[in-house]
Chain A
């Protein structure tokens, strides 16, 4: 029950966000313009709260020299009195063009000197962002105050639900026409929301486990994703072609869709697996897969998209070959960018002993540069970030002061948790406001295939991997691996990036993607915890190693390496020792 007060707070914040959002849309308008607009917009419903805020707002402005766009007096109290100050020559229209904001600043000079000015547009963008972060954080606190709820639902699900609720409020308040503004924007996502999460994942990666299982992880990330893409794409196309699904979708668009839906999403996986603490091998395989499959996803997506633009007849063998080659380049170049900037950060921090305060800067700036540099060439930015994080951590940690490291650690964790929260809320928001095009057959079969092929892929690939592994992955773990293959915001962003001119059925794909994201996050995300408990999946023990454990662990590593040398096999522990 403790959640209600916080919900109320959230809703109040939402209202103000809504208003500020609108202000941001009409960035070039002066305050009164916005006010007019909101007034006419919201008259119909939820009048109570809005009018409260209206009053609050109007009381702020009696002294402003803000210009009323039409010079009309239709506004609520207070504004009319300002019209004395209005300069007749600055006639504003509601469809302001870019020069208006400049005029607005100049315009105040014409009247008497204002005691207080109100210029919201000036701060609109950062203000909205700040409000979002505030809202997201409050939501997070709200969930954790409510223990029982938090133990049943993963946090990500609640955030999506909250997003949907907000979306509904927006929807009721102002209909669909402003809705585009609140949806998850692919550019924002890939450039600002995603990198902090991935960086945190890479920086705090359990490196040992990661490299011990690198073979399995790569097999899953590369072959698994390829398998999913082709299996899903071909089957969907087959059903469309056979007339089972009533949809006019060509072969290549089908493949575009399957390429974006096949990739397991690192954000969603992290959000769910963080809470259940499964054993390290299981965790690192699913998580590592979700990170490294980015290279495959990027290539397949761009490849099929380009093919679609070219038209099916134009695609030649050469394009297929260059697609294959580009896969290696995208992955490896991403990795190299990451390592390069990682080492650079390590190197620079060698010399920062006199300027301790800027030490954290290098960690973040270098990582971001790695990501953006990779993205310039459409290389895998995620790979770049991961390997930047991995390669710099060991050195940076030793070079910088303990305080700087604490800063790095907490700032990184904070950023990533905020971004994650925003992403899930946005995901919820975006659902309500998009125009949907529902196609039962397509949605149903996509969902089915996503689910089935994931399991087939996991079973097949673990059978292969187990052949080469010292520690076998048992069926229980395989099941969790299959079940934990959540889809998330990356799929969503890739699908909204599609060009409607190239793929006219985009809306169907968007709707289907949303359904799949919801299904995997809700149905699988909520049930995975009980299932893990039910199947008695080996859990990870959270503890700090004692001195004995640490020393004997070291001894065992050396012993393993020695035995491998005697036997003449070169496994991972052999490499580690050298």
Chain B
């Protein structure tokens, strides 16, 4: 799809993406120009290195994981084309009122999809469960070296036992959703895309 390098965005592509992601025409154009400016090799796709070259992202404690979440792991592709890029970003689009009421279609920016994104940032081995090690790894990234290994371990244990309902000492997506029930995820995981 994105294999043709340096092709300009076609109008029909835009409307396709619009359909799929819900972004406005202008937003897509703007994001495309961002995409091309990130694409240093001019291959029409973004590699991990392209992402990590963004200076702020490199210092983000979860930078690696965020980049990781952009990649489609089933196809073991090492590049992200614009379509995939947009599909991932769509999860951060704020919800409009009519999208909230629309139950027929699953929108990419639905609460569940947003949560799914967060969940995937933990779930490295993609077994649809967060294990103690996976949780610990993320905690480690977020708090840095300030907290001792022991304390971190007990935080992880407590977090696990708090969310784990079926007693397998892992957090499934179902349990993850339940644990986040009271949080306004729609608001917390939304950013403003410029027009």
- The dominant DSSP class at the B interface is helix
Min CB gap A290→B, angstroms: 23
- Residues 14-51 of chain B: 1 if any A CB is under 8 Å from the residue's CB, otherwise 0? 00000000000000000100100010000000000001
For B117, list chain A residues within 8 Å (CB): 559
Partner of A574, one of B51, B56, B89: B56
Instruction: Identify the stretch in B1-9, B71-79, B177-185 within 8 Å (CB) of chain A at 4 or more residues.
Output: B177-185
Q: Are A561 and B60 in contact (CB under 8 A)?
A: yes
The residues in A between 547 and 578 inclusive whose CB is less than 8 angstroms from any CB of B are 547-549, 551-569, 571, 573-574, 577-578
A192-213: contact bitstring with B at CB < 8 Å (1 yes, 0 no)? 0000000000000000000000
Contact of B163 among A472, A548, A554, A564 (CB under 8 A): A548
Residue A471, interface by CB 8 Å = yes
Q: Are B192 and A565 in contact (CB under 8 A)?
A: no
Most buried by A among B56, B158, B163: B56
A554→B61 CA distance, assembly (Å)? 11
A468 contacts B by Cβ under 8 Å: yes
Asked whether A567 and B193 contact (CB < 8 A) given A552-B180, A555-B138, A558-B61, the answer is yes
B106 located at the interface, meaning its Cβ lies under 8 Å from any Cβ of chain A in the complex: no
> Which of A470, A472, A546, A555 sits near B121, CB closer than 8 Å?
A555
CB-defined contacts of B124 to chain A, threshold 8 Å: none
Known contacts A470-B94, A552-B183, A565-B56; is-contact A560 B193 (Cβ 8 Å)? no
**Residue of A548, A571, A577 touching B180 (CB-CB under 8 A):** A548
Q: Is the Cβ of A559 less than 8 Å from the Cβ of B193? A: no
Decide if B82 is an interface residue (CB 8 Å cutoff). Answer: no
Q: Are the C-beta atoms of B192 and A560 separated by less than 8 Å?
A: no
Asked if A4 is at the interface (CB within 8 A of a chain B CB), the reply is no
Question: Which A residues are in CB contact (< 8 Å) with B162?
Answer: 546-548
- Of B66, B158, B179, which is within 8 A of A563 by CB? B66
Q: How far is the CA of A547 from the CA of B122 in the complex (A)?
A: 16
Residue contact A559 to B62, C-beta cutoff 8 Å: yes
The residue among A472, A569, A573, A578 with the most chain B CB atoms within 10 A of its own CB is: A569
Q: B54–A566 contact, CB under 8 A?
A: yes
Chain A residues positioned under 8 Å from B179 (CB to CB): 546, 548-549, 552
Distance in angstroms between the alpha carbons of A561 and B190 in the assembled complex:
10
Contact between A562 and B66 (Cβ–Cβ < 8 Å)?
yes
Q: Are A562 and B118 in contact (CB under 8 A)?
A: no
Instruction: Give Cα A561–Cα B183 distance, bound, in whole angstroms.
Output: 18
- Taking a contact as CB atoms under 8 Å apart, the answer to whether A567 and B31 are in contact is yes
Given A547-B155, A552-B118, A569-B194, is A559 in contact with B180 using a C-beta cutoff of 8 Å?
no
Which residues from B are CB-within-8-Å of A557? 188
Contact present for B66 and A555 (CB under 8 Å): no
Which residue on chain B has the smallest CB distance to residue A474?
B97
B92–A562 contact, CB under 8 A?
no
Is B174 an interface position by the 8 A CB rule?
no
Known: A549-B180, A562-B66. A555 touches B118 (CB 8 A): yes
Binary contact readout B159-195 vs A (1 if CB under 8 angstroms, 0 otherwise): 1001100000000000010011011011111111110
User: What is the bound-complex CA distance between A555 and B66, given in angstroms?
Assistant: 10
Residues of B within 8 Å of A468, CB to CB, are 192
**Residue pair B182, A549 in contact (C-beta under 8 Å):** yes
CB of B187 to closest CB in A, whole Å: 5
Output the nearest chain A residue to B46 by Cβ-Cβ distance. A566
The reply on A44 being an interface residue by CB < 8 A is no
Are A568 and B34 in contact, with the CB atoms below 8 A?
Answer: yes
Least distance between A527 CB and chain B CB atoms (Å): 26
5 more A-B contacts (CB under 8 A) besides A548-B159, A558-B142? A548-B163, A552-B183, A557-B188, A559-B189, A562-B60
Chain A to chain B contacts (Cβ below 8 Å), 13 pairs: A471-B94, A472-B97, A474-B97, A547-B162, A556-B118, A558-B61, A559-B66, A559-B189, A562-B63, A566-B51, A569-B191, A571-B191, A574-B56
Chain B residues near A (Cβ < 8 Å): 31, 34, 38, 51, 54, 56-57, 60-63, 66, 89, 92, 94, 96-97, 117-118, 121-122, 138-139, 142, 155, 158-159, 162-163, 176, 179-180, 182-183, 185-194
